[in-house]
Amino acid sequence: MTRRRWAWAALILLGLGVLVLSSCRSSLPEPNTLPPVGHTTPDGPESEAKELPVETARGDSVVVEPPLDPSEPTTPRVSRVTERPTSILVRVGLATDRKEVEFTCCGPLRAEWDGKTVLTAASLRVRASPGRATPPVFRLQVAALRDVTQAQAMVARLSRLSGFSGDEVLDAESGLHKVRVGPFADREAAESARRTLSAHGVDGAWILSEGGVLEDPAVEVVSGGQSRRIRGRWLAIGAEEGRGVRVGSTRYRGRILLFLNDRGSLNVIDELSIEEYLRGVVPKELGPDLYPQLEALKAQTVAARTYTVRNLGEFADEGYDICATPRCQVYGGMEVEHPLTDRAIEETADQVLLWRDEPIDALYSATCGGHTEDVGTVFPLKSDETYLQGVPCLEHGVTNLRGSAPGESVERTVLEELIGVTDAAPQIFGQRLTRMGVLAGYTSSDTAQPLEELTGVSIRRYWRGRFPGAGDFVSFPPASESALSAKQQLDFLWRFARELGVVNVQTVGFSSLTGSKLEVRDDRGEKMRLDWTPTTVTGWKSGERVVSGNLRVAAGDALWLVHRNGKVMAVVQENSRPAAVFDRVSRWNHWERFHSDRDLRRSVAEHIPGFEFASFEALQRGVSGRVGRLRLTAVDGRQEVIEGLAVRWTLDLPDTSFTAKRTHPPGREAGWLFSGQGWGHGVGMCQIGAYGMAQRGNSYWGILSHYYSGVSLGRVSAVVRRVHQESGQVAGGV
C-alpha cells in the first residue's frame, strides 16, 4: 500500500516563527473548468484568486503552528495563534467510471458550473457526454487487487511476459486497484493479446472498451423535460445548507462534484471541509456505540485527520484526494455521524501529529494481536518512517509489577536507600549532604567545618566548603535564620538529588517486563531497558497520595519512574487504579483459517499470473512475529519471494501474524491450517488497544505517543485556492 509522498518545504516566517508547509501535489486535470469554491479565503475573496496562474489551481498552503505542549496531555494548547484557522477542503472519491448518476435528495438541488447555477430541481440526472477525437480503445482487465504495490508489480510482470504495456487504476468505490493491459486499437487486437496472456498461464482477463483522447469533453444534466449539455470536465451538485446530497443510499455534506475522467466516464466526489469529513470517518473507524471512550475517539480523530492531511492529492489525476474505502479511510457520510465522535472532533480541532515538522503517515489497524509491527516489515517502502515502530499493546494483557512497599513516601524511601534520612541532627544532615555530593561525582574536602544548624545560610556555606569545585548551580533553601522543618529537609534533599543527577525522575510509558528487565518509552518514544529488582518501590497515585502495593500495568500505561545507573528504584502508576475492565478484546484477536491446496493455487495465481502454487516458507518475521518475507514454490520448482502486505493478500489471510500447519482433514482436500492473531496490517495505532488504554485512564495524547514513537502534536490550517483560467479561455462556459 504505497502512497505518493508529499514533499514538504519548511519556510520560517520572520517575526512570527510559523512553519509553513507547501504541498507538491499534482495539478488536477483541466483546472480551467473547475467549479469555484463558494467561500472566502484568508487571502481575499474568490474573485481575487482568479488572478493566479493556472498551474496553482490546485495548490494548498498548509500552515503548521509550533508543536503543542504535551506536558499537559489531557488538554494540549497552542503556544500562539497567528491567524484564524481555515479548514482544509477535502475531495473524497465515492465512485468511479459511472456513465450516469442520479440525484433525488435532498432538494431543491442545484447543478453548478463556473460559479453559476445551471439547473435547479428536486431531482437531477447527470450523464457523461464527451465527444471523441479518436475511436474507443480496448484494454484487458486482468485482476483487481487490494495492494497497490502488488498491482504495480503485476503490471510490470505482465509487460515482461507479453510485451504489452499496462497500468493500474484505483476503483474508488471498492478500494481495489484494477490491473489492465493495453491499450489496443481494436477488439481483435485485444482478443489476440488475451490469447497471448493465456499462453503464459494468465487466464480470466476480459476486454474493456473506453474513450480515447477526449474531444469536446462535456456532461449532460437532465431534469424532467429540461436538459443542458455543459462543456468541460466538472459539474457540482449542491443542496441547501445542512441537508446534504444523496448519492445512492447515503447523504453527504458539502457538495458533490462530477469529474469526467480520461476514460470518458464520471467520477463521483464529495467535496467538504476536513472537520465535516471526519464526522463521517471517525464513527466508521471506531464505532462510538461499541467503544464509548472519548479519549480513544479523540486519538482516532487526530490519527484520521493527520492521515488525511498527509495523503491529500494522492488521486489527483482522478479528480479527488482520498478514497472512501479501507484502502484509505472508511467514510460513511452524514448517516453515521454521532454526538460522541462530533465532540471528539471538536475537542481536537485542527490537531495533527508531526515528526520532523511534517504530518506523519498515521497508519492504524483494527486489532494487532498484542504487539504492533515495525513499518518496514509490512510496508518495505516506508522503512524511513521510524516513528512507526512495533510496540506492545494492551491486547497482550496486563503485567504484574511486584516490588517493595514503602513504609512512608516514595521519595523518603528512595533517599533512605541512597543516603539515609532518619536523623535530622545538623551534623548527620551534613554527612548525608556529603554522601549526596559524592554520589554525584564530586570530590569531598576533609577541611570543611561541620554543619551546625539547618538554616539555608549554613547549608550553603557547608556545601561550598565540602565541595569547593561544585559551585552554586543547584538550588539552596532561602537564606533565612529559621531552621528547616523535617518536611523542608526532605523536600530539599529530594530536589537536590534530582538537580545533581543522583537520581533520574521522568514519566514514561510501560512496554514490558521480561525477566529482570523493565522496558519503557520516554516522551520522545525512545526505548529504555532498566534493571528490575525485588527492592524496587512500587505504588499508585490516589488523588495527591501515593498508595504502596504491587501494580498491574498494561502497555502504554503512564508510570512515574525513578532510576539510577540503569536500575529502577521506584515506580508509581500515574493513573488511579482503573475500575474499568478491558472488555472489548476483538473477536479477531485470534483466528484460524483453513485453505485447501486448490484455494491457495487460485489465490496465488490471481496475484502472480502463471504461477502454480505448491508450497511456501516464511523467510523473515518482524518484532511482533508478523511475516515480512515469504518464499513461494511452484509445482515446476519456480520460486517467487513476496514481502510486506502482499503476503496477506496472496495467502488471503486477516493478518500476517500467523503460523501454518500442513493438514488433511477427513473427507476434504489437503491444505494448510493457518492460526494467527490481529486483523489488518498491524502498523501504527491499534484501535482496540486505544480503546483499552482509554478505559484505563490514559489521555488521547498518551495513546498517540504510545503507538507513534517520538511524534509531537501540532495544529494545521490549510487554505485551498480554486482558480479559473481567464474567462476568454474557458470554452463553452454557461
The residue out of 628, 657, 677 marking a domain boundary is 677
Q: What is the pLDDT of residue 80?
A: 25
Residue 564 lies in a domain: yes
Please give the Cα distance from 184 to 164 (Å, whole number).
9
Task: Write out the three cell numbers for 726.
Answer: 481567464
Whether 22 is covered by a domain: the verdict is no
Q: By three-state DSSP, how is residue 563 classified?
A: strand
Which domain covers residue 668, as residue numbers? 590-677
pTM, 2 dp? 0.73
Do 559 and 609 have their domain in common?
Answer: no
Task: Answer yes or no: do 627 and 533 share one domain.
Answer: no
In a domain, 216, yes or no: no
Number of domains in the chain: 3
How far is 78 from 66, CA to CA, in rounded Å?
A: 7
In a domain, 306, yes or no: no
Phi-psi region of 620 (alpha: psi -120 to 50; beta: other; left: phi over 0): beta
What's the pLDDT at 19?
Answer: 28
Is residue 142 in some structural domain?
yes
Q: Which residues contact 341 (CB under 8 A, 6 or more apart)?
A: 279, 282, 283, 288, 297, 301
User: Are 492 and 563 in a shared domain?
Assistant: yes
In angstroms, the CA 540 to CA 578 distance is: 11
CA distance linking residue 136 with residue 210, whole number of Å: 5
Indicate the burial class of 500 (C-beta count within 10 angstroms; 0-12, 13-18, 19 or more): middle
Q: Which three cell numbers stand for residue 320?
A: 479527488
For residue 275, give the nearest of 716, 722, 723 by alpha carbon: 716
* 176 falls within a domain: yes
From the list 476, 479, 483, the residue with the least C-alpha distance to 453 is 483
**What are the cell numbers at 546?**
501515593
Spatial separation of the C-alpha atoms in residues 518 and 509, rounded to whole Å:
11
Query: Which of the listed residues 646, 662, 677 is the one where a domain comes to its end?
Result: 677
Q: Quote the pLDDT of residue 646.
A: 87
DSSP string, 127-155: EE--EESS--EEEEEEEEES-HHHHHHHH
In a domain, 276, yes or no: no
> 70: left (phi > 0), else alpha (psi -120 to 50), else beta?
alpha
Q: Are residues 573 and 664 in the same domain?
A: no
Same domain? 540 vs 654: no
245/482 Cα distance (integer angstroms): 76
Q: What is the mean pLDDT of each run of 10 residues along the chain (734 residues)?
A: 35 27 31 37 28 28 45 36 52 94 89 88 92 80 81 86 86 84 88 79 74 82 88 92 91 95 91 96 95 96 94 86 90 96 95 89 91 92 89 84 80 89 82 90 83 87 84 68 84 90 91 89 85 88 75 86 93 66 58 93 88 94 94 94 90 93 90 92 94 90 93 67 29 31
CATH number for the domain that contains residue 141 = 3.30.70.1070
- Mark whether 429 and 531 lie in a shared domain: yes
List C-alpha distances in Å: 288 to 153, 326, 338, 589.
39, 18, 7, 20
Last residue of a domain, one of 648, 677, 706: 677
539 and 453 co-located in one domain: yes
Q: Is residue 301 part of a domain?
A: no
The answer on 609 and 510 residing in a single domain is: no
Assess whether 544 and 473 both reside in one domain: yes
313, 5 Cβ separation under 8 angstroms: no
Asked whether residue 574 falls in the same domain as residue 635, the answer is no
Q: Is 535 helix (H, G, I), strand (E, B) or coil?
A: coil
Predicted confidence at residue 578, as pLDDT, reads 52
Q: Tell me: do 528 and 595 sit in the same domain.
A: no
**Residue bearing cell 450523464:** 127
* Same domain, residue pair 432 and 577: yes
